[in-house]
Amino acid sequence: MAKIDVIRNTYGGLEYLNNALGYVSDDRALYRGGYGVNPYDYSMAYNQMLYTRQYFNKVSGNPLVHIIIAYNDQVKDLATAARYGQQCAQYFSPYYQILYCTHEKDNTCGSFHTHIIINAVSYINGQMIQTGYEEMNTFCNYVSQVTGQSCRFYFDNKAPQR
């Protein structure tokens, strides 16, 4: 079974966006790609996402959605995990800028997992992404079709550390 964590409420504003892009694309990223951003330079990807937010005058509020897809142990090689990651990230690409990176070693489910960072503001019309139960259930069904694995998703609403 593929496990999907959906991190929607990210505190820290644009600084969190920069940190998330840096985190997913650090040395652990074995494969990376992007839609509407440079996947090989996270600071450039940050500026590209920021430009979209500024263009639509939406620089405050939740800057991103962070999705983590942990594949089960049937995914045994990077090429398969990277292909799944690309296809899953592509789901959001008609409207949103995306940086996605595949990492190894997720001890909860299997060996590989993909991080998908989505700019919460659409580059097409400036609307904010919708990530409610219905939208994420539809995405989960898509992930099941792509990977051939049953799928569950979980909302991980990050709270500020005190």
100-139 in b/e burial notation, b at 16+ Cβ within 10 A?
Answer: bbbbeebeebbbbbbbbbbbbbbbeeeeebebeeeebeeb
Tokens of 109: 């489910």
CATH code of the domain covering residue 81: 3.30.930.30
pLDDT of 99 strictly over 50: yes
**Enclosing domain of residue 39:** 2-155
- Stronger pLDDT, 121 or 12, i.e. the higher one: 121
pLDDT at position 161 is 45
Within-domain flag for 90:
yes
pTM: 0.92
Give the total number of structural domains in the chain. 1
* Residue 160: inside a domain: no
133 domain-assigned: yes
Is 112 part of any domain? Answer: yes
CA distance 121 to 52: 7
Higher pLDDT, 160 or 4: 4
Is beta strand 151-155 parallel, antiparallel or unpaired with respect to 2-7?
parallel
Closest to 123 in 3D by CA, of 42, 66, 68, 50: 50
Q: Is residue 38 part of a domain?
A: yes
Residue 146 lies in a domain: yes
103 found inside a domain:
yes
pLDDT, mean over the chain: 91
pLDDT digits (tens, 9 = 90+) for 38-96: 999 999 999 999 999 999 999 888 899 999 999 988 999 999 999 999 999 999 999 99
Note the pLDDT of residue 110. Answer: 62
Has residue 109 got a pLDDT over 70? no
On whether residue 161 sits in a domain, the answer given is no
